[in-house]
Amino acid sequence: MSVRRTAIAAAATALGVALSVAGTSAAQAGSTHHTAAAHATSDRGGATYLALTGGKTRLSLNANTAAALTGAGVTVAPASEATAGSAGIAFPIQGGLINARTLAGKITHSGGLTFTAGGKSLTIRDFTVNTSTKTLSAWVDELGARVAVLNVKLGKAKITATSKRLTITNIKTTLKQGVADALNGYFSTSLFSGGLPIGTVAVSAPIKVLHR
C-alpha cells in the first residue's frame, strides 16, 4: 500500500468515526474505516461529504527556506485577511467540500501573501487547495490570473475528525517548478527552485455532514 493510500485509509477511519458520532451507534464508530464509511453512505444510497463552513488554514514557513529568503532580502508578509502569529500565517477558510471516503475535494480561502525584494512586490491570494490534484492554486495580482503555486503532500498528514470539526495537520508543501522560474525572473534571483520546501500546513474547520 502506498504512503498516500495509507494516509487516505487513516483519514477515512477518522472520518468514519466522525460520521458514526453523527448518526450511528458507538459500536459502529469503533469499526474499520471500510465498515464505518460504507455504513454511513450505503444507508442513504449516496456519497457522504464534509462541508467546511469556516475556520482557518495555517502555514508555518519552513525554517531553512525562511532563513534563505531573509538572507537574500526577500520578505514575505500576510496580505488582505491573512494574519501572522507565532504559529505561522493564518488564512480564513471561505468554504469547501470534501468526500468523506476519498478525501477528494477543494477548500477555498481569503487572504494571501506578498513577496517583496529589490523594490518590487508580488502578491498571491485567495488560495484553493485541491486534494484531488494535490495542488494549491492562487490568484496572482501581477498576472491577473490563477496559477497552481504549490504541490500539496498528504502522505504524512494527520487527521482528526468529529461530527462537527475537521482538523488536518502535517500537510507538507513545496514550490512548483514553473512558479519558481517565474519568481526568479521577476525578482532577478536564482533563489527559488522547484520542490523548494515552503512549509507545513494545518487545517481546522467546523463542518456539516452532507449525504447525496
The whole-number pLDDT of residue 2 equals 40
Local confidence band at 33 (pLDDT 50, 70, 90 cut-offs): very low
Local confidence band at 89 (pLDDT 50, 70, 90 cut-offs): very high
Local confidence band at 29 (pLDDT 50, 70, 90 cut-offs): very low
Percentage of the chain exceeding pLDDT 70: 79
3-class DSSP string for the chain: CCHHHHHHHHHHHHHHHHHHHHHCCHHHHCCCHHHHHHHHHHCCCCCEEEEECCCEEEEEECHHHHHHHHHCCCEEEEECCCEEECCEEEEEEEEEEEECCCCCEEEEECCEEEEEECCEEEEEEEEEEECCCCEEEEEECCCCEEEEEEEEECCCCEEEECCCEEEEEEEEEEECHHHHHHHHHHHCCCCCCCCCEEEEEEEEEEEEEEEC
The whole-number pLDDT of residue 45 equals 53
Query: pLDDT digit string (tens) for 93-122?
Result: 999 999 988 889 999 999 999 999 999 999
Residue 124 has pLDDT above 60, yes or no: yes
The whole-number pLDDT of residue 102 equals 86
Local confidence band at 178 (pLDDT 50, 70, 90 cut-offs): very high
What integer best gives the mean pLDDT of the chain? 82
The whole-number pLDDT of residue 70 equals 93
The whole-number pLDDT of residue 81 equals 95
Query: pLDDT digit string (tens) for 37-84?
Result: 334 433 445 789 999 999 999 999 999 999 999 999 999 999 999 999
Q: Which residue has the higher pLDDT, 20 or 141?
A: 141
Query: pLDDT digit string (tens) for 148-169?
Result: 999 999 999 999 888 899 999 9
